[in-house]
Structure 1
Amino acid sequence: MDDGTERSGPELFNDPLAGVDRTRPNPARMYDYYLGGAHNFAVDRAAADEVLAVLPETRTFARHNRAFLQRAVRYLVTEAGITQFLDLGSGIPTVGNVHEIAQRLDPRCRVVYVDHEPVAVAQSQRMLADNDRAAIVRADLRDAGTVLAHPETTRLLDFSRPVGVLMISVFPFIPDSDDPAGIVAAYRDACVPGSHLALSHSLTPEYWPGEVEQAIDLYRNSTHPLHLRDPDQVAALFAGYRLVDPGLVFTSAWRPDVPVDAAQARDSRAVAAVGELVG
């Protein structure tokens, strides 16, 4: 990805990234950098390197979080029978996206990604150009009405049947003033029983080692400051859902592919769960 050099002329009008603020780091692009992606700007890499300098565990956290998403999707397709997904705050595509995993397991699976970050949307559009069972919606997940009524959403998802709603590490960038519980409820109320919610959330400073407060301060200069929550606050977001085993646990301890001990689980610095919507 380029370093932010301005362009002009006809190509500007065809550029989905035209008008992007390249002067401030963006958490989605920083996350892409933590995962080894290339869809980020110099300002994102500089900010991410500052975070890693004081809190190197951030890269491990990102990888555990991504692995949870992949395991959750496998569970939802193979055990819960879910064949349609709404991935809210989907971020910049990288290896092992929801549609790749779900459609490999069941080609009938349909996926709607939702994000408002232009780089995430542009890269997703390129990736999904030849996939008629997956699409990206550019919208703010806080505006559930717009997301649910979008033509791509209504084309691909049938809300009279169970839907897998994914909210993976998005609420750390949503303040309490935006009513996270209300956001979850808006999507929950659009779903029928048997639908599922997969959600992960990074934890408050006492669960992190080192200079976590300094890292939080660095994010205050980004487009979306951090809003960390404790396990009880995260559990409250699952109101109306029955948590499937093992419940709300450290991210790497949710149905791991290989056993993890308590210390390894804590290295996730986040908790995650999958819940089934009950009638």
Structure 2
Amino acid sequence: MARVFDYLLGGREHFASDRRAAEAVLERFPRAGELAKDTRDLLRRAVEHLAGSVGIRQFIDLGSGLPSTGSAHEVAHRIDPTARVLYVDRDPMVLTHARTLGTDEATTAALSADVRDTAAVFDHPLTRGFIDFDRPFAVLASGILHHMKDPAAAAAAGTIVDRLTPGSYLLVGHFVDDGASGGPRIEAAIKNMGLGTYRYRTWEELRRFFDGLELVEPGLVYGNAWRPDERTATDSPSHTLYAAGLGRKPG
């Protein structure tokens, strides 16, 4: 999926099989490419806000995919070149590509782990040595929870919140079933195509991911309505398929 997503973003880190899979999705859902770009733009705006306005200097990007153009470290380093970004993905190709695309183990690192096993992420020696858990940090889950089934997604979100240092943040970007945009139909079609799990959750289901956190303005909203700027495609035809929110651990 990391390479399929890279193709949808217009990247170059993919193979013929990935392109075929992506084209199969685009044939059924022409908006998929725009939706992928919307999710990447959300990541940009969130990291700009966290690094530029809040002063966060440590990021854990869960289910990061390939660290290509517009990735978290590029955005954070434009604000502070010393900011640390840890990419986490279970696809071994992500780790390989991350090393060739510029991870330096000082400000950018990559960990191969399954996000469903939060202990494997937060307790890994690489993570413990790279992230200072005595200081606030941000966990970016801008495109991973909707790949998890219901018990796993809720459990992962809950343990992430438990692990957050007071003053730390959790970003969630997730496909949303708003009752009008056809999310369940798309979910079923993609599942039938054999392209993995894509879970469209309701607004109420998404709010539960922030239990124990204070939602940052403007709250849980459509992705492109979350702090849009001049680069945000607010008229995107796919904007009602994706939601976003940023929560802060009190303290």
Superposition TM-score, scaled by structure 1 size: 0.82
Conservation of the 8 A alpha-carbon contact between 1:90 and 1:115: yes
In structure 1, how many angstroms separate the alpha carbons of the residues matched to 2:232 and 2:56?
Answer: 27
| Aligned-residue offset at 1:206 | 4.0
In structure 1, how many angstroms separate the alpha carbons of the residues matched to 2:234 and 2:102?
Answer: 39
The one-letter amino acid of 1:55's match is F
Q: Residue 158 of structure 1 aligns with which residue?
A: 132
Structure 2 regions of 5+ residues with no counterpart?
none
Q: Residue 170 of structure 2 aligns with which residue?
A: 197
In structure 2, how many angstroms separate the alpha carbons of the residues matched to 1:267 and 1:98?
Answer: 21
1:96 equivalent to 2:70? Answer yes
Cα deviation, 1:244-267, whole Å, max 9, x if unaligned, reads: 111111111111113979754863
Cα deviation, 1:196-221, whole Å, max 9, x if unaligned, reads: 11110012384436x97366433444
Q: Residue 231 of structure 1 aligns with which residue?
A: 203
In structure 2, how many angstroms separate the alpha carbons of the residues matched to 1:227 and 1:192?
Answer: 28
Go from structure 1 to structure 2 and tell me whether the alpha carbon gap of 1:168 and 1:239 turns closer, same or farther (over 3 Å shift): same
Structure 1 regions of 5+ residues with no counterpart?
1-26
Conservation of the 8 A alpha-carbon contact between 1:114 and 1:137: yes
| Aligned-residue offset at 1:119 | 2.0
Q: Residue 225 of structure 2 aligns with which residue?
A: 253
Tell me which structure has the larger Cα radius of gyration. 1
Among 83, 98, 103, the residue aligned to 1:109: 83
The one-letter amino acid of 2:43's match is L
Of 42-51 and 87-96, deviating more is 42-51
3-state SS, counterpart of residue 163 of structure 2? coil
In structure 2, how many angstroms separate the alpha carbons of the residues matched to 1:42 and 1:261?
Answer: 29
CA RMSD of aligned residues (A): 2.3
In structure 2, how many angstroms separate the alpha carbons of the residues matched to 1:261 and 1:78?
Answer: 21
Count of residues in Structure 1 that have an aligned counterpart in Structure 2: 251
Go from structure 1 to structure 2 and tell me whether the alpha carbon gap of 1:103 and 1:212 turns closer, same or farther (over 3 Å shift): same
The one-letter amino acid of 2:162's match is D
1:271 equivalent to 2:239? Answer no
Q: Residue 35 of structure 1 aligns with which residue?
A: 9
1:78 equivalent to 2:52? Answer yes
Go from structure 1 to structure 2 and tell me whether the alpha carbon gap of 1:206 and 1:38 turns closer, same or farther (over 3 Å shift): farther
Conservation of the 8 A alpha-carbon contact between 2:213 and 2:247: yes
Structure 2 matches for 1:132-151, cutoff 5 A? 132-151=106-125
Go from structure 1 to structure 2 and tell me whether the alpha carbon gap of 1:261 and 1:154 turns closer, same or farther (over 3 Å shift): closer
| Aligned-residue offset at 1:37 | 1.5
